[in-house]
Chain A
Amino acid sequence: MEEINALFNGFAVVLTPYNMILMVVGILLGVIIGVLPGLGGANGVAILLPLTFSMPPTSAIIMLSCLYWGALFGGAITSILFNIPGEPWSVATTFDGHPMAQNGKADEALTTAFTSSFIGALFAVIVITFLAPLVAKFALKFGPAEFFAVQFLTFASFIGMGAGSPFKTIMAMCLGFALAAVGLDTITGQLRMTFDFITLLKGFGFLVAVIGLFGIGEMLSSMEEGLEFKGAHAKLRLDAVLRTWKQLPKYWATSLRSCLIGVWMGITPGGATPASFMSYGLARRFAKEPKTFGKGNPEGIVAPETAAHAAGTAALLPMLTLGIPGSPTAAVLLGGLLIWGLQPGPLLFVEKPDFVWGLIASMYLGNLVGLIVVLTCVPAFAAILRVPFSIVAPVIMVICAVGAYTVNNAIFDVWLMIVFGVMGYVFGKLKYPLAPLVLALVLGDTAESSFRQAMLASQGSLSIFWANPLVTTIMTLGVLMLLWPAISWLRGLLRRQGGSVSA
């Protein structure tokens, strides 16, 4: 086993005291960055990048990639405790994570999230270790049509998510698409819906919208409900970790499915955010009791967290082997590689085995260290909910405002965040679902680009979506998912008729 040997060499590279310290520092910084909304992993890595120029490249990438794992872990914390997604890929975690915290099970929710993250990452690293060359070739098969098919599948697997009226879901999604369309159209190079307002040039930042819709919206609701955290009186139990671990094995199917979705989306490179949404949508679709989703079902945490972390980890593979980043953070790391004098691409594995295998080994160790660090902090995180609301609320407001500002360094975004906050509150009152809006906002732009790129390539023929086995399979899956509610309704109807006939 060539890979095993290489991997052990990698461990030898990583297991020096200097590299281990950098690893822990990276994880801790990453968790902090992940907790602060707005200051995402990409920003964190970008800020620290210049500091690493004096380090050996292997040490530098170990620290920065650990910061990335830390941010992936940290994103879940505020999502669960305060309904504020610290990172785009933790939006789906709020759907069930926050209700669990409100039910007094914050510690279990956090443990579930962290453990799922770890499993997702571990799965992805194993795939990278043994299948790197094979998997890299698979990524090459993805052109615009294939990308659109994947995005279509994500939307389709999410349709019928909201418990409320399907019309409200469609309304929310359309609003999301409209918001996503503001700014520069990448296909024609023209400005759309900016109405000559300079501030609208950059469009609506996904993070700003999410911080407002979820964070501020949630604060407004809490204020109305008597300035108190639900679930604040939950007992802090130190055995939360072991207790939760006993529960987790029964979600193995969801876990495995989410791992596969995550690795696939990370490699292609669809990214962690669509992976988390798709995985959540599918988990709900295949669940025995879909109605419990959105009300604090641990499976609703397992799915998005596993997928997000698997995708986040797998995203490093196309960066190393092809030089295309699978995520914004990977894009910044890519810049780092060039500065350290390393050329990412098909030859990196051959020319710099120490670096590549050191990085892969650090993925194993970094995630393990990360898991231990965050799990030991679970009681501390859960205890935050016991702090009186009147103290925590202003702090959260400030963190949200700083987060919104950090995204683009623009004060306009802070106002925008407040507007989105009011919108989130009104949506809640009128029982309009937020998830479809957020999904459309994050994926609308890329889905539109992919569709139009595919149309350009095929001279306007839709047959490009059925041009080869790969894209046909994904598209067919998407269409099936889209029609699934209708199919199951029809099946139910037929069965009832059949039943009445036989009776």
Chain B
Amino acid sequence: MTTITLNFGPSRITSRMTGRTLACGAAMFLATAAFQPDTAMAQGWEPAKPVEFLIPAGTGGGADQMARFIQGVITKHKLMKQPMVVVNKSGGAGAEAFLDIKVSNRDPHKLVITLSNLFTTPLGTNIPFNWKEITPVSMLALDQFILWVNAESVIKTPAEYIAAVKNGEDRQMKMGGTGSKQEDQIITVAIERLAAPKKMTYIPYKGGGEVAVQLVGKHIDSTVNNPIEAVSQWRANALRPLCIFDAKRSTYTGKVTATMAWSDIPTCKESGMDVEYQMLRGIFAAPGITPAQTAYYVDLFKKVTETPDWKEFMEQGAFNQTMLSGDAFKTWLTTAEKTHYDLMKEAGFLATGK
């Protein structure tokens, strides 16, 4: 039997607007799940042909890296008898991949790895897709976001950052991020609220690595890069992390730079910037697959996350190792979708008719 202990700590994304508390209605769950070996395999379904693993993003990005890493781990540890084929379908901010799996009804040989565009793309573009139309398998981890500035910047704390936006000229603070009306811009809007009525300028780029380098080159003033996208620049003393957009500090205490570990980065909330956001790294399968097939994949990804390679990868990117599956995952998804809807509504990012 599978025992899942859930420890929900719903914490709101709140942003303060000149004294008044303005709840964005945003909630992110912190869930600690304890898995025990289960009996899923007893039901005995196994893939009969190569499994296609769709990536709703281009080559080289965070989702791509994780998917190819998973493929490598499965191959290296021989976790699946059939090969896994990774396919990038990045068209329409990932909609291409989601629509592909949506129409692959009852095909158990197709999986998709998701990021926040699972919610943001359908909400922002009117593309006919919703996560409820495909089968949730498991949440592998939550990806963190960190507020970064150039190491030579005069800004040293989140409070100073907000003060700089507030006291500077309107739209003077340039925030670079990946894509438009997606996670990076959503966080930017949440920060912007704290400095109202002053606005910030958001500049969308294609990939996270590019964004980090633009910050090193001082073409932008700040970013909300994922840890893995900016870590090498941090280690080279080119960037400075101000705070992490999580409810609690990272649990990784190993030194990343000469003096700091991931756990030394304060949370944004504790340092006066009341914004929280994390991004789903999860796996979905085609609609209409049998419970035995879902169980097979839940088990497969559990084995992946138990390998030492995975643990190392998680630490490198300072991921929040929250694993969920089954109903707990669905509950999480429902809440996260609502969060994104509310955030995007307030930011004016929703497509007409949503």
Contacts and interface: CB of A to CB of B under 8 A. Distances in A.
Interface of A: 42, 46, 49-51, 53-54, 139-144, 183-191, 194, 198, 201-203, 318, 322-325, 328, 331-332, 334-336, 338-339, 341, 343-348, 408-409, 449, 453, 456-457, 459
A347 B235 contact: yes
A338 B217 contact: no
A457 B204 contact: no
A198 B97 CA distance: 11
Contact of A183 (B92, B205, B216): B92
Contacts of A345: 231-233, 235-236
Contacts of A336: 68
Nearest to A318: B213
A202 B91 contact: yes
A449 B206 CA distance: 9
Interface string B190-215: 00000000000111111101101110
A324 B213 contact: yes
A449 B203 CA distance: 10
Nearest to A345: B232
Contacts of A325: 60, 209
Nearest to B169: A459
Contacts of A331: 58-60, 207
B179 A189 contact: yes
Contacts of B179: 186, 189
A326 to B, nearest CB: 11
B91 A46 contact: no
Given A183-B92, A186-B179, A457-B203, A53 B72 contact: yes
Contacts of A408: 89, 91, 96
Given A187-B180, A189-B125, A346-B236, A453 B204 contact: yes
A203 B91 contact: yes
Interface of B: 58-60, 64-65, 68-69, 71-72, 75-76, 86-87, 89-93, 95-96, 99, 124-125, 127, 171, 174, 179-182, 201-207, 209-210, 212-214, 216-217, 219-220, 228, 231-233, 235-236, 238, 312-313, 316, 349
Contact of A334 (B60, B201, B235): B60
Given A188-B180, A325-B60, A339 B69 contact: yes
11 contacts: A46-B59, A139-B217, A142-B217, A143-B214, A201-B96, A202-B91, A324-B212, A324-B213, A335-B64, A338-B316, A339-B72
Contact of A328 (B59, B92, B210): B59
A343 B71 CA distance: 19
Given A188-B180, A189-B124, A201 B92 contact: yes
Contacts of A42: 59
Nearest to A409: B87
B228 A338 contact: yes
A336 B65 CA distance: 8
A160 B31 CA distance: 62
A18 B203 CA distance: 47
B349 A140 contact: no
B201 A141 contact: no
Contacts of B181: 188-189
Contact of A144 (B203, B232, B313): B203
